Amino acid sequence: MKKNFILVCSVVLFAFVSCSFTKGISETSDKDKLLLELISYVLERLHFEPTAVNDTFSERVYDNFIGGLDPMKRYFLAADLALFEEYKTQIDDQIKGIDISFFNLVHERLIYRIDESKDLYKKVLNTPYDFSETDSLVVDYDLLPYAQSKKELEARWRAQLKYVSLGTYYASKENEALKVAEDSNYTPKGMEVLESEARAKTKESLEEYFDFVADLERKDWFVQYLNSIVETYDPHTFYFAPEEKDRFDMGMSGKFEGIGARLQKRKDQTKIVEIISGGPVWRDQRIEVGDEIIKVGQSGEDPVDIVGMRLDDAIKLIKGPKGSLVDLTVKKVDGTLEVISITRDVVKLEETFAKTATVNQGEYKYGLINLPKFYVDFEDYNERNAATDIAAELEKLKAEGAQGLILDLRDNGGGSLKTVVDIAGLFIKDGPVVQVKTGQEKIELYEDTDNRLVWDGPLVILVNELSASASEILAAAMQDYKRAVVIGSKQTFGKGTVQNVVPLNNIVRSSEFGDLGALKLTTQKFYRINGGSTQLKGVMSDVVVPDKYSYMDIGERDLDHPMAWDKIPAAEYTPWEGYIDFESTIANSKKRMAANPQLKLIEENAKWLKSQQDNNKVSLLYEDYVAEVKLDKEKAAYFKQITKYDSKLTFQSLNVEKTMLAQDAELREKRDRWHRDLAKDVYVEEAVNVLQDLKIRFTNPLKLASVKG
């Protein structure tokens, strides 16, 4: 394997970490300005396609920032926009001059308008709604102009909140009707009471929202401004504030150090909303979902009251290194208070990792591995990662006599490039996997060179529109080698770029501002071994089947500022000739899928979902709302047939897992639910059929024929 599989471009970084960066520090003591200068510096030197910072760039940043701050156009007035637009073509000049006056102006006006809107929504919700009035609401906010006056803005708030209240009013009315049906002596609430309660619930939801907004600090808004700049380069370039970088690392590695509970802020309360299987809280068994953490103390120190504290700040106090002690003052669900000491540990998020099931069809046994992402510990590749896990799962499947494999990459958004090449190497003896281009430099070929073939049996790969990046590399490589049959959507997501993460503190010799966060930026573009990029076009499935995303605008091509598709020369590679009947198997699968009534129903559902997505106006008349709900219920009941499908296949966990599952009821329930879902999955059923059809040349499965492309 290539030795330079490393997330951060260390060679390039060394070149400018060692150079002087005192100019920015001496001239800009403000942290925001320093961040702007550092990010601009990195983007200019490391981005795959540095964007010209000009008036066009400025207009894009402007649209990103203003649109992101007020997407529903219920804060800013047209007069505010007239003031902002004076800067529309000046942002590029401000970036070059390390000037943040545009941000300061917008931020100051935003906070002012948010404060005004608090009074506005209360005023609106103090006046009853008349649900018999003919009125409508535009829900495609791009079609709405900004309000010309506060009176017009108030009308907009009133219409938007009326729609929310209308939904609550309808649900309450239905609930009252059920109570009458159950108890003839029950006196239902009148329309006025139900309308008043609906407004009260809407008000409560708004109060929770504004509590969240009140927790945001100036630095949080500035991060949004920075990302309005960096996302103009491409959709996958992103600035991480320090806390966000921690979350990114946790998501990629599938683990963190802490107590093993997910928290949520509800008003001033920090509540336990999930306990992670295998974590310290799960093992301790004294804390339950619904408990509230009141205070946090560090190993015998005086506790800190976290009531009303920002959730991120509370989490910082609760998390900590493995082996350290944290004292939690917990208000139990029953109202009692208890101080519970928890020893922090490494918590693994099992839903992040690969999981395996077996399925029998007649005398044949097959394996299915679901890979949610290409996870890795960036600090230490020898720690748990997707490639080593998949290799281990394959060995387990072979030990249990599996004769074919389904690799499920649906909804897999990607991850580590190194794990992709290592996983591909499990299915081929050797050869190139992907080509990677860095700027205008030469193209590098990433190869499997270890001569190890872990799985030489039939292989099917499942993909959909949300299979992206690393998923596309693996699916494309296996397709080019004719090693696997790819079943799924017409095309995958279409993300053909590679991102590297640059910690900004690595660029300055020292910083008085502490952790400056990191910039994830596009530094490379990858290409199939046949020379084509997966950028925008994705991977075309061998067998195309509809799913609920078929008509949705969710691919790379639907994002702002995506990079273009292009092609480079093909690599030298040798297709796998282990199958006797590869092309006929695909043809037979297409015939089955074309005639499958379940897939016709799924496609019909996809078209319905698209029509719902395209609906840009809703009625605020109660009678219309009732009719719409009735239609939606009818459609939902009709399409519920999809979830009742039964493939008659039975899925089981691996034998080596059964002891662990017997000791973990929660994890066992998750596995059982997954197995039930697999049995209803028509795509998995067809994957099994394809495995049944594929025949291996057992006499000489690795006979190869040299080709180019």
For 146-170, how does the pLDDT look when each residue is reduced to its tens digit (9 = 90+)?
Answer: 999 999 999 999 999 999 999 999 9
Give CA–CA dist 497/437, Å, rounded: 9
The predicted structure's pLDDT at residue 700: 38
Tell me the sheet residues that pair with 434. 446
Query: 3-class DSSP state for residue 456?
Result: coil
Q: Compute the 3-state secondary structure of the chain and give helix, strand, coil in percent, each to the nearest 5.
A: 45, 20, 35
Among the listed ranges 199-203, 426-430, 552-556, which one has the minimum average pLDDT value? 552-556
- Identify whether residues 273 and 393 lie together within a single domain: no
- The bridge status of strand 543-544 relative to strand 485-488 is parallel
Judge whether 707 lies within some domain. no
40, part of any domain? no
| Short-list 689, 519, 514, 507, CA closest to 587 | 689
**Average of per-residue pLDDT across 214-238:** 94
Under the banding of pLDDT at 50, 70 and 90, the label for residue 379 is confident
Out of 55-69, 619-633, 686-700, give the one with best mean pLDDT.
55-69
- Which residues neighbour 313 within 8 Å (Cβ) at sequence distance 6 or greater? 306
Beta bridge partners of 266: 269
Q: Report if residue 662 sits inside a domain.
A: yes
**pLDDT at residue 1 greater than cutoff 80:** no
Please give the Cα distance from 175 to 186 (Å, whole number): 12
Instruction: Establish if 1 belongs to a structural domain.
Output: no
Together in a domain, 595 and 672: yes
- Let me know whether 327 and 370 are in one domain: no
The Cα 521–Cα 47 span in angstroms is 6
For 563, residues 6+ apart whose C-beta sits below 8 A from its C-beta are 48, 49, 234, 496, 497, 522, 525, 535, 536
What's the token pair of residue 84?
Answer: 């902002």
CA distance 318 to 299: 11
- Residue scoring higher pLDDT (302 or 420): 420
Picking from 211, 180, 116, the residue whose alpha carbon sits closest to that of residue 154 is: 116
| Average pLDDT of span 548-563 | 88
Q: What is the mean pLDDT of residues 12-26?
A: 36
- For the chain, first and last CA: distance in Å? 21
Helix intervals (H) in 254-328? 280-284, 311-318
The distance from CA 621 to its chain's CA centroid, rounded to whole angstroms, is 36
End residue of a domain, out of 295, 316, 348: 348
3-state secondary structure of 255: strand
565 and 551 within one domain: yes
In Å, how far from its chain's centre is CA 576? 34
676 belongs to a structural domain: yes
Question: Stretch 220-240: mean pLDDT, rounded?
Answer: 95
pLDDT for residue 252: 61
Largest CA distance in the chain: 83
Regarding whether 631 and 496 lie in a shared domain, the answer is yes
pLDDT surpasses 90 at 7: no
Helix count and strand count (H, E) for the chain: 22, 24
Residue 20: exposed, middle, or buried by beta-carbon count in 10 A (0-12, 13-18, 19+)?
exposed
Q: How far apart are CA 383 and CA 390, in angstroms?
A: 14
Q: Does residue 707 have a pLDDT over 60?
A: no
* pLDDT, position 175: 92
State residue 267's pLDDT score.
63
- pLDDT, mean of residues 413-433: 94
CA-closest candidate to residue 98, choices 21, 9, 188, 207:
21
475-484 average pLDDT score: 97
* Other CB atoms within 10 Å distance of the CB of residue 291: 22
Would you say residue 241 lies in a domain? no
For residue 295, what are its two tokens?
A: 């205070």
User: Contact, 194 vs 173, CB < 8 A?
Assistant: yes
Statement to judge: residues 56 and 148 lie in one domain = yes
Convert the pLDDT of each residue in 446-455 to its tens digit. Answer: 999 888 899 9
Confidence of residue 26 (pLDDT cuts 50, 70, 90): very low
**Structural domain boundaries enclosing 83:** 52-232
How many structural domains comprise the chain? 3
Locate 461 and state its tokens.
């790969």
Among the candidates 292, 319, 348, a domain finishes at 348
Q: Tell me how far apart the alpha carbons of residues 621 and 407 are, in angstroms, rounded to a whole number.
A: 49
pLDDT band with cut points at 50, 70 and 90 for residue 709 = very low
Is there a single domain that holds both residue 444 and residue 535? yes
Residues counted in the chain? 709
Bridge-based pairing state of the strands 355-361 and 304-305: unpaired
d(CA 303, CA 311): 17
pLDDT of residue 13: 34
Rounded to whole angstroms, how far apart are CA atoms 474 and 578? 18
With 90 as the cut, is the pLDDT of residue 303 above it? no
Kindly state whether residues 198 and 259 are assigned to the same domain.
no
**Residue 515 resides in a domain:** no
| 245 assigned to some structural domain | no
Q: Is the confidence at residue 2, as pLDDT, over 60?
A: no
Do 330 and 452 belong to one domain? no
Q: Compute the average pLDDT of residues 30-58.
A: 94
User: Is the pLDDT assigned to residue 3 strictly greater than 60?
Assistant: no
- Residues 325, 355, single domain; the answer is no
Average pLDDT over residues 72-100: 96
Q: CA separation (Å) from 339 to 103, 292, 375, 621?
A: 45, 12, 36, 52
Q: pLDDT by residue (tens digit) across 248-286?
A: 666 665 667 888 888 877 666 888 877 776 688 888 889
**Backbone dihedral angles phi then psi of residue 663, each to the nearest 5 degrees:** -95, -5
Give the Cα separation of 195 and 173 in Å (integer).
9
- Domain boundary (282, 316, 348) is at 348
Measured on CA atoms in the order 241, 243, 249, 250, is the torsion positive or negative?
negative
Could you count the other beta carbons within 10 Å of the beta carbon of residue 296?
A: 22
Q: Is the pLDDT of residue 91 over 90?
A: yes
CATH number of the domain residue 461 falls in = 3.90.226.10
* Whether residue 439 is found in the same domain as residue 555: yes
Q: Calculate the average pLDDT of the chain.
A: 87
Q: Which of 418-422, 491-495, 628-632 shows the lowest per-residue confidence on average (mean pLDDT)?
A: 628-632
For position 309, which CATH number holds?
A: 2.30.42.10
Mean pLDDT lowest for which of 123-132, 293-302, 457-466? Answer: 293-302
Separation in Å, CA 610 to CA 71, 605, 616, 628, 636: 21, 9, 12, 16, 14
Distance, CA of 36 to CA of 56 (rounded, Å): 19
> Is a pLDDT exceeding 80 seen at residue 9?
no
Cα–Cα distance between 653 and 675 in angstroms, integer? Answer: 8
Round the CA-based radius of gyration of the chain to a whole number and report it: 28
Return the pLDDT at 253: 59
Question: Which one is predicted more confidently, 611 or 395?
Answer: 395
Give dist(CA 272, CA 263) in Å, integer: 5
Question: What is the rounded (10 degree) CA torsion for 262, 266, 269, 275?
Answer: -20
Confidence check: pLDDT of 19 > 50: no
Residue 347: pLDDT above 80? no
Q: What is the structure's pLDDT at 14?
A: 30
User: How large is the average pLDDT for residues 325-339?
Assistant: 83
Q: Both 565 and 656 in a single domain?
A: yes
pLDDT tens digits along 349-364: 767 789 999 999 888 9
